[in-house]
């Protein structure tokens, strides 16, 4: 899916300032198991994983990747057996054949995965030489019999897992979570999706933590143009410094059932990944980290549902909810807004 490589347009994975060993992940009694995330200077997130209980590598957290991946150089160093079956990988701006390798064990804290992992042959897949791979939903959604809930807290740079929602210090606000069913696009391809309205146009949004900008397809762009939105062109530079002229548009408001984004603009093009899952003919939008940085996403891995948790909830002082719940009500309301756009 929007996985692995071909996400090189407009952004690069810069050098991470720190990496946290899986052994540094912690779990307090009756609390969620927490794995710290590190940040790149262009805003992407990473954490360390253990491969076959012998090697630790830093990887990017990519919620729009249906398969995890490792660099070709990492694969060579591990001396693993290359699988003969190639996989066609459909990315943001291209499609390529990729070899796979069978991993006996990928792990980070309580998260464990065994199975096929892609080998990244494209040198532009990950611009940062210190980052050795990408972790997708195959890893994040594996072994769901334990640690039912997964929370990606972008505001506090943490990846947390717990068996109960109460492990996440939600107090009296649990009943305000509004859940959306994840979409299974076949072949166990589960992505974080949510129905949205973009300036009044109904669309499918895919949450993509592998990019730091917003993308819409041409179907949505044409509908927005009919509603008075002006499509413009501008020149952008990719990670190699090569300039590309692309269309973009000011989106206006992007609304879910309980929050509103105000992105400044979005790029317009039909990603091969969207074509692969038959979303090019219906209005679609990729929500990047530029709209997610000040909130959290919580995923019920057992029932395959997700919900947003806003910064107002995450930063809420405990005293605000004592004595009366009036101040607690509305922290997930539709008045929540966050700025951002394709830069």
List Cβ neighbours of 23 (8 Å cut-off, separation of 6 or more). Answer: none
38 neighbors 47 (Cβ within 8 angstroms): yes
Co-location of 219 and 142 in the same domain: no
Co-location of 274 and 190 in the same domain: yes
Co-location of 54 and 80 in the same domain: yes
- pLDDT given at position 5: 32
Co-location of 132 and 230 in the same domain: no
159 neighbors 34 (Cβ within 8 angstroms): yes
Q: Distance (Å, rounded) from C-alpha 60 to C-alpha 48?
A: 9
pTM of the model: 0.81
SS3 breakdown of the chain: % helix, strand, coil, rounded to 5?
A: 15, 40, 45
Assess if residue 181 is contained within a domain: yes
Q: Distance (Å, rounded) from C-alpha 13 to C-alpha 239?
A: 9
- pLDDT given at position 267: 94
Q: Distance (Å, rounded) from C-alpha 249 to C-alpha 283?
A: 14
Co-location of 64 and 158 in the same domain: yes
**Domain stops at, among 166, 199, 218:** 166
Pick out the chain residues at pLDDT < 50.
1-23, 317-343
Per-residue pLDDT tens digits for 109-168: 889 898 888 888 765 567 677 888 999 999 999 876 788 999 999 989 999 999 988 888
**Domain stops at, among 137, 166, 195:** 166
Residue 219: domain span: 176-313
**173: its two tokens:** 């606000």
Q: Distance (Å, rounded) from C-alpha 152 to C-alpha 189?
A: 19
List Cβ neighbours of 18 (8 Å cut-off, separation of 6 or more). Answer: 38
CATH number of 297's domain: 2.40.70.10
Q: Give the pairing of strands 266-268 and 243-249.
A: antiparallel
Please give the span between the terminal C-alpha atoms of the chain, in angstroms, as a whole number. 24
Co-location of 132 and 251 in the same domain: no
135 neighbors 210 (Cβ within 8 angstroms): no
22 neighbors 108 (Cβ within 8 angstroms): yes
Assess if residue 124 is contained within a domain: yes
Q: What is the DSSP letter of 190?
A: E
- pLDDT given at position 140: 93
Assess if residue 342 is contained within a domain: no
Co-location of 271 and 181 in the same domain: yes
- Of 155, 141, 156, the closest CA to residue 300 belongs to 141
Co-location of 151 and 266 in the same domain: no
């Amino acid at each position: 899916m929007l996985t692995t490589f071909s996400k090189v347009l407009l952004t690069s994975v810069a050098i991470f300032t720190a990496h946290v060993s899986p052994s540094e992940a912690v779990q307090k009694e009756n609390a969620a198991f927490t794995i710290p995330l590190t940040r790149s200077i262009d805003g992407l997130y990473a954490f360390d994983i253990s491969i076959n209980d012998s090697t630790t590598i830093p990887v990017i957290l990519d919620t729009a990747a249906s398969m995890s991946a490792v660099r070709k150089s990492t694969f060579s160093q591990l001396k693993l057996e290359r699988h003969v079956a190639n996989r066609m990988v459909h990315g943001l701006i291209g499609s390529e054949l990729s070899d796979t390798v069978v991993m006996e064990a990928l792990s980070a804290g309580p998260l464990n995965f065994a199975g096929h992992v892609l080998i990244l042959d494209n040198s532009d897949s990950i611009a940062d030489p210190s980052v050795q791979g990408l972790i997708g939903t195959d890893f994040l959604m594996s072994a769901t019999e334990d640690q039912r809930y997964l929370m990606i807290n972008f505001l506090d740079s943490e990846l947390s897992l717990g068996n109960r929602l109460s492990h996440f210090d939600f107090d009296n606000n649990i009943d305000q979570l509004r859940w959306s069913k994840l979409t299974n696009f076949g072949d166990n391809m589960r992505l974080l999706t949510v129905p949205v309205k973009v300036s009044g146009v109904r669309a499918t949004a895919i949450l993509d933590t592998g990019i730091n900008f917003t993308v819409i397809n041409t179907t949505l762009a044409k509908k927005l143009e009919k509603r008075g939105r002006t499509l413009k062109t501008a020149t952008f530079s990719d990670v190699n410094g090569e300039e590309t002229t692309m269309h973009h548009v000011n989106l206006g408001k992007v609304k879910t059932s309980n929050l509103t984004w105000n992105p400044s603009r979005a790029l317009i093009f039909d990603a091969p990944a969207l074509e692969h899952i038959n979303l090019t003919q219906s209005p679609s939008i990729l929500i990047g980290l530029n709209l997610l940085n000040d909130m959290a996403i919580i995923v019920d891995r057992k029932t395959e549902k997700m919900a947003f948790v806003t910064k107002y909830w995450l930063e809420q002082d405990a005293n605000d909810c004592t004595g009366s719940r009036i101040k607690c009500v509305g922290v997930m309301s539709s008045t929540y807004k966050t700025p951002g756009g394709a830069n």
